[in-house]
Copies of this chain bind each other. A is one copy, B any other.
Amino acid sequence: MPNTEFRGIIAYPVTPFKGNGETVDTETLRRLIDQLIDNGAHAIAPLGSTGESAYLTEAEWEEVAEVAIKQVNQRVPTIIGISELTTQSAVRRAKFAEQVGANAIMVLPISYWKLSELEVFQHYAAIAEAIGIPMMVYNNPATSGIDLSPELIARMVKEIDNLTMVKESSGDIQRMHRLYELSEGTIPFYNGSNPLALEAFVAGASGWCTAAPNLIPELTISLYESTSKGNLFDAQQIFYQQLPLLKFILKGGLPTTIKAGLKLLGIDAGVPRPPLMALDAIGIGQLSELLTRLGKGQLVTSGR
């Protein structure tokens, strides 16, 4: 049995597609997962925002969950992402994830009509009740359209049994301060905003949920290790080194930029699913330059 405590670099693989985003390429997914683990990721998180979770059909989502968990094979913990509009659909997927062996799930409360705090609470409570594995609440107002306050999050962690972790992607360091204060440092929180990686660790984050290890695994691991040792000067230097890339991959949309970067590094994970489009030529040029500067010399550039 693996260590089920999540700590360090939680790596988010993309969901590779064939054709113009039409079908899932499980072969490449398996290869990506192996590579992330080989490069030191402390946990694997398929079906996150990076994994285009919300863009998959239910059958595709189930296939990716199952394939990924089998491939990880408990070498590190696996956390499966769920982003469903209705409670019944979120419950169904949570049960499926548990059944096929996930160590935890991460749940984003997508909204169409704005949700009250009570509606959010009941959504999480219903999912938690249906499963026996830990759940991470995921706050990402930019993609979900709903912003969970630290106060609501802390209350949910306290009152909902297996809701035990928090992923904060709002990019606001004050949210992390507030979570720390509200729980006197006892609620494990994880940073999901790449350009905040340094400061989040400094503020006490247990881990960094990131797609960057698909492209620059060593730098993400080094940042974690230097902050783990309390070595501020090293951490600062390592962070500023990778910051331009972290900003680039976020700004262009993670599925778009990570898939383009993987192709530059020799792995064809296809393009994102429409209406999302592949990175354009200018973007590919910029990304190539950023990777080269970080010593990613083995770039595949022929044939473009």
Contacts and interface: CB of A to CB of B under 8 A. Distances in A.
A116 interface: yes
Number of copies of this kind of chain in the complex = 4
Given A54-B112, A177-B195, 6 more contacts: A87-B274, A119-B276, A174-B196, A198-B203, A230-B231, A231-B232
A259 interface: no
Interface of A is mostly: helix
Interface string A18-45: 0000100000000000000000000000
The 9 closest A-B pairs by CB, nearest first: A123-B275, A230-B232, A199-B199, A87-B274, A230-B233, A232-B232, A113-B253, A119-B275, A54-B112
A112 B232 contact: no
A286 to B, nearest CB: 15
A173 interface: yes
A290 interface: no
Nearest to A174: B195
Contacts of A236: 202-204
Contacts of A116: 277
A143 interface: yes
Instruction: Please indicate which of the listed interface residues A109, A120, A232 has the most CB atoms of chain B within 10 Å of its own CB.
Output: A232
